[in-house]
């Protein structure tokens, strides 16, 4: 039972455009959501998070939106840069345990 | 430098030969966890520990053991590895925070790629 789903395994975006990565969840007990970024041969690194008491959180070029009624969150990257090419995992948490999605491979085309 | 260190980074072994993947963190984190990453399945939690001598099963614990005798170390033990344990393994650690004002922001190691023949 996949409680956190990333339905797009891959996404290609032109450099300078907006990248939108999506994530859906099923467990209404999740109250904190995170995005991690992973480069090849490295461990995932934390990117941005949002708590369930907010619907938007920004950090530079990265913005995460949370729609609790739809159980959906999205990560917007604007403008997209070549260094953003990586695998992105969303994760959700009701407590100390994080549940991860399957990941989306983002490729930025120069 | 704050980090999580895993060893070995790469290992090829044979079915049934016991192996241990070590994990050490230097951030005084209470929480440590092991994940495996497989194509199409994302990161799945194997075991986690909220403090010394406190460990619990994650989503896919079968075939694995862990121990937490010291705060900084959290080794993953495969007593009798099988080919279905061929995977990329990540150790991670964090401070222990829960609830809508914070959650585990995990720091991950670089990964250990294990192949069981």
pLDDT at B40: 87
Inside any domain, residue A102: no
Please state, in angstroms and rounded to a whole number, the distance separating the CA atoms of residues B109 and B93: 9
Please state, in angstroms and rounded to a whole number, the distance separating the CA atoms of residues A44 and A99: 14
Inside any domain, residue A67: yes
* Under 8 Å between Cβ of A57 and A49: yes
Pairing between β-strand B107-108 and β-strand B42-51 as defined by DSSP bridges = unpaired
The answer on pLDDT for B56 being more than 70 is yes
pLDDT at B2: 84
Q: State the residue range of the domain holding A45.
A: 4-96
Inter-chain touch B42–A51, beta carbons under 8 Å: no
pLDDT at A98: 86
Inter-chain touch A9–B40, beta carbons under 8 Å: yes
Share of chain B above pLDDT 70, in %: 93
Residue A62, helix vs strand vs coil: strand
Condensed to tens digits (0 to 9), the pLDDT of residues A48-57 reads 999 899 999 9
Q: What is the mean pLDDT of chain B?
A: 92
Nearest CA in chain A to B10: A41
Once rounded to an integer, what is the mean pLDDT over residues A34-52?
94
Inside any domain, residue A105: no
The answer on pLDDT for B99 being more than 70 is no
Query: Of A50, A46, A48, whose CA–CA distance to A38 is shortest?
Result: A46
Residue B102's pLDDT band (boundaries 50, 70, 90)? Answer: low
Inside any domain, residue A51: yes
Inside any domain, residue A101: no
Let me know if B117 is exposed, middle or buried by CB neighbors in 10 A (0-12, 13-18, 19+): exposed
Inter-chain touch A100–B42, beta carbons under 8 Å: yes
> Angle at Cα A81 formed by Cα A76 and Cα A85, nearest 5°?
80
Please state, in angstroms and rounded to a whole number, the distance separating the CA atoms of residues A83 and A86: 8
* Under 8 Å between Cβ of A30 and A8: no
Inside any domain, residue A108: no
Condensed to tens digits (0 to 9), the pLDDT of residues B23-52 reads 999 999 999 999 999 988 999 999 999 999
* CATH code of the domain containing A24: 2.60.40.10
Residue B98's pLDDT band (boundaries 50, 70, 90)? Answer: low
Inside any domain, residue A81: yes
**Structural domain count of chain A:** 1
Inside any domain, residue A110: no
Give the DSSP H/E element, type plus range, for residue B38.
Answer: strand B31-38
Residue A63's pLDDT band (boundaries 50, 70, 90)? Answer: very high
């Amino acid at each position: 039972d996949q409680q956190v789903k990333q339905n797009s395994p891959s996404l290609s975006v032109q450099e300078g455009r907006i990248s939108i990565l999506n994530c859906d969840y099923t467990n209404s007990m999740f109250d904190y959501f995170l995005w991690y970024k992973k480069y090849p041969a490295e461990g995932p690194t934390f990117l941005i998070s949002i708590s369930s008491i907010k619907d938007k959180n920004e950090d530079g070029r990265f913005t995460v939106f949370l729609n609790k009624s739809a159980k959906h969150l999205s990560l917007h990257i604007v403008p997209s840069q070549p260094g953003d090419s990586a695998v992105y995992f969303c994760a959700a948490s009701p407590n100390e345990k994080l549940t991860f999605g399957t990941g989306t491979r983002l490729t930025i085309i120069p | 430098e704050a980090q999580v260190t895993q060893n070995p980074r790469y290992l090829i072994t044979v079915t049934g030969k016991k192996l241990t993947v070590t994990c050490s963190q230097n951030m005084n984190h209470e929480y440590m966890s092991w994940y495996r990453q497989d194509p199409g399945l994302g990161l799945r939690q194997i075991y986690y520990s909220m403090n010394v001598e406190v460990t619990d099963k994650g989503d896919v614990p079968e075939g694995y053991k862990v121990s937490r005798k010291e705060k900084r170390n959290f080794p993953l033990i495969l007593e009798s590895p099988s080919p279905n344990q061929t995977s990329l393994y990540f150790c991670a650690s964090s401070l222990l925070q829960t609830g809508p004002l914070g959650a585990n922001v995990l720091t991950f190691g670089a990964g250990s790629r294990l192949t069981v023949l």
